[in-house]
Chain A
Amino acid sequence: ETGVTQTPRHLVMGMTNKKSLKCEQHLGHNAMYWYKQSAKKPLELMFVYNFKEQTENNSVPSRFSPECPNSSHLFLHLHTLQPEDSALYLCASSQEVAGQGLFGYTFGSGTRLTIV
């Protein structure tokens, strides 16, 4: 365990389903992130939250909807996804606030999402 817990580990869903991915950290970090990792591609940043406020939306389609109710929890709500959305979705947290990259990220193990 890294300190960042993601559930479920695996998810298979149809294109018309609605599901949510959950991420939880109790490291006292104030920033949380969603990344997408498709096969044979680098990690792509999706969303950034600092102190529960969304500070970055990296041109992600509206079928992905993030929610950050408090600094320890982060959700990614999914609806009407496409087959190309099949990927590993990774959550991370950090103490980062003002930039520079002084602090590293702690990643969860990810949710392997398959759209059928």
Chain B
Amino acid sequence: DAKTTQPNSMESNEEEPVHLPCNHSTISGTDYIHWYRQLPSQGPEYVIHGLTSNVNNRMASLAIAEDRKSSTLILHRATLRDAAVYYCILYDNYGQNFVFGPGTRLSVLP
């Protein structure tokens, strides 16, 4: 089972920031937090990942709570091309793989 919980859907207006939340209360000390997104008719695409510190890259920022039990993916200026399903995932050390949940479906309104 996925070890994270996310809202089923969110809406944003174009060119506004988007904050996508994720809860992972059972996270262990060595689990990396990964975010992927899946555009229609495509495979998932890596967005960002982190362990403890906040992370930034050209696509997004990842804010990790101090207790690591939650994180937030931040898209600084949403575009129509950012409409996708966003997955917050922890690595399953037992199964040695990523377990995907249903994710958050982000709609971006023009």
Contact = CB atoms under 8 A, between A and B. Distances in A.
Interface of A: 2, 4, 33, 35, 42-43, 45, 48, 55-56, 58, 90, 92, 96, 99-102, 104-110
A43 B98 CA distance: 10
Interface of B: 2, 30-32, 34, 36, 41-46, 49, 90-91, 93, 95-103
Chain A binding surface, main DSSP class: loop
Contacts of B42: 109-110
B103 A45 contact: no
B43 A110 contact: yes
B93 A100 contact: yes
B101 to A, nearest CB: 6
A101 B98 contact: yes
B93 A45 contact: no
- Chain B contact residues, majority secondary structure: loop
Nearest to B91: A101
Nearest to B28: A100
A67 B13 CA distance: 45
B43 A109 contact: yes
Nearest to B46: A104
A106 B46 contact: yes
Given A56-B95, A101-B98, A92 B43 contact: yes
